[in-house]
C-alpha cells in the first residue's frame, strides 16, 4: 500500500473487523438470522435504526449493541468509539446494498446516466460538515442518492471513524494529523475527483 493511497482503509484494516461490518449489514436484510447467538431480526433492527434520532436513539437499539459487541471482539475498545459507531449505524441503514467496487467517495463521483451520482456542490457541502449531526444528515442524503447501486460499507465506516477522530481532536484542542493523505477530507476529495477526471 502506498502511503498516499487514499482508497486503502486507515481504521478498518483488520479483516475480521471488516467482516463483522459486512456481516452485520447483511443481517439487516434478513429476518430470523442466527449469528452464533440468539435469533435476530435484522429487518426490525434496520427499521428501528432508521426511525430513531442520532446519536442517543441509535445507542439504545439492539442492532447498535450487537454491532458494538462484535467489533469489540476484534478491535481495541478505544478504537470502537461509540459516537462514531452510532453515526455509521445511522447512515448505513439507508444503503440498499454493500457494493465493494471502489471506495465510498469514489462511488459518490461515479457517473450515473452521464452525471455524477453526487454533484460537486453537494459533495463540497458534505466535506464542509462541522458537526456529527451535519455529517450524519448529509451522508444519509448521498447514500440515498446511490440508490440500488449501494455503497462500500467498510469504506464508509473507515471515513466516518477517521472524520470523528479529527472532530474529537479539534474539540479537545489536540494536534491534527500532519500527513494530508491521512486526513479524511483530503482522502474523500481525492477519491471523488479521481472518479470524475474531467472536473
Give residue-wise pLDDT tens across range 16-69: 999 999 999 999 998 876 666 667 889 999 999 999 999 999 999 999 999 999
Could you tell me what percent of the chain has a pLDDT over 90? 74
Structure confidence by residue, pLDDT tens digits, 64-118: 999 999 999 998 767 778 999 999 999 999 999 999 999 999 999 998 888 889 9
Place of cell 459533495: 123
Among 3.40.50.970, 1.10.10.60, 2.170.120.12, 1.10.520.40, name the CATH number for the domain at 15-195: 1.10.520.40
Place of cell 452525471: 115
Task: Give me 97's grid cell.
Answer: 446494498
Question: pTM score, two decimals?
Answer: 0.92
pLDDT above 70 (res 1): no
Dihedral pair phi/psi, residue 33, rounded to 5°:
-85, 140
CA atoms within 13 A on the CB side of 181: 9
DSSP track, 52-92: SPTTHHHHTSHHHHHHHHHHHTTS-GGGS-HHHHHHHHHHH
Report the alpha-carbon angle 51-57-63, nearest 5.
75
Structure confidence by residue, pLDDT tens digits, 105-146: 999 999 888 888 999 999 999 999 999 999 999 999 999 999
Long-range contact pairs involving 10-18 (C-beta distance under 8 Å, separation at least 24): 10/158, 10/162, 10/182, 10/187, 11/79, 11/157, 11/158, 11/161, 11/162, 11/165, 12/154, 12/157, 12/158, 12/161, 14/74, 14/75, 16/73, 16/74, 17/71, 17/74, 17/75, 18/154
User: Of 121, 98, 106, 108, which Cα lies nearest the Cα of 24?
Assistant: 98
Amino acid at each position: 500500500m502506498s502511503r498516499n493511497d487514499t482508497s486503502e482503509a486507515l481504521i478498518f484494516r483488520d479483516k475480521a473487523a471488516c467482516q463483522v461490518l459486512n456481516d452485520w449489514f447483511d443481517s439487516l436484510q434478513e429476518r430470523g438470522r442466527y449469528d452464533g447467538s440468539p435469533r435476530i431480526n435484522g429487518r426490525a433492527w434496520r427499521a428501528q435504526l432508521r426511525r430513531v434520532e442520532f446519536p442517543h436513539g441509535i445507542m439504545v437499539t439492539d442492532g447498535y449493541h450487537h454491532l458494538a459487541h462484535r467489533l469489540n471482539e476484534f478491535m481495541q475498545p478505544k478504537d470502537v468509539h461509540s459516537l462514531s459507531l452510532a453515526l455509521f449505524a445511522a447512515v448505513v441503514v439507508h444503503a440498499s446494498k454493500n457494493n465493494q467496487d471502489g471506495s465510498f467517495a469514489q462511488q459518490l463521483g461515479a457517473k450515473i446516466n452521464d452525471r455524477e451520482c453526487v454533484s460537486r456542490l453537494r459533495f463540497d457541502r458534505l466535506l464542509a460538515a462541522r458537526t456529527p449531526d451535519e455529517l450524519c444528515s448529509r451522508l444519509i442524503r448521498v447514500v440515498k442518492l446511490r440508490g440500488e447501486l449501494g455503497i462500500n460499507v467498510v469504506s464508509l465506516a473507515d471515513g466516518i471513524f477517521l472524520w470523528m477522530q479529527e472532530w474529537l481532536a479539534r474539540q479537545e484542542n489536540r494536534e491534527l494529523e500532519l500527513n494530508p493523505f491521512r486526513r479524511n477530507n483530503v482522502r474523500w476529495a481525492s477519491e471523488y475527483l479521481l472518479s470524475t477526471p474531467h472536473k
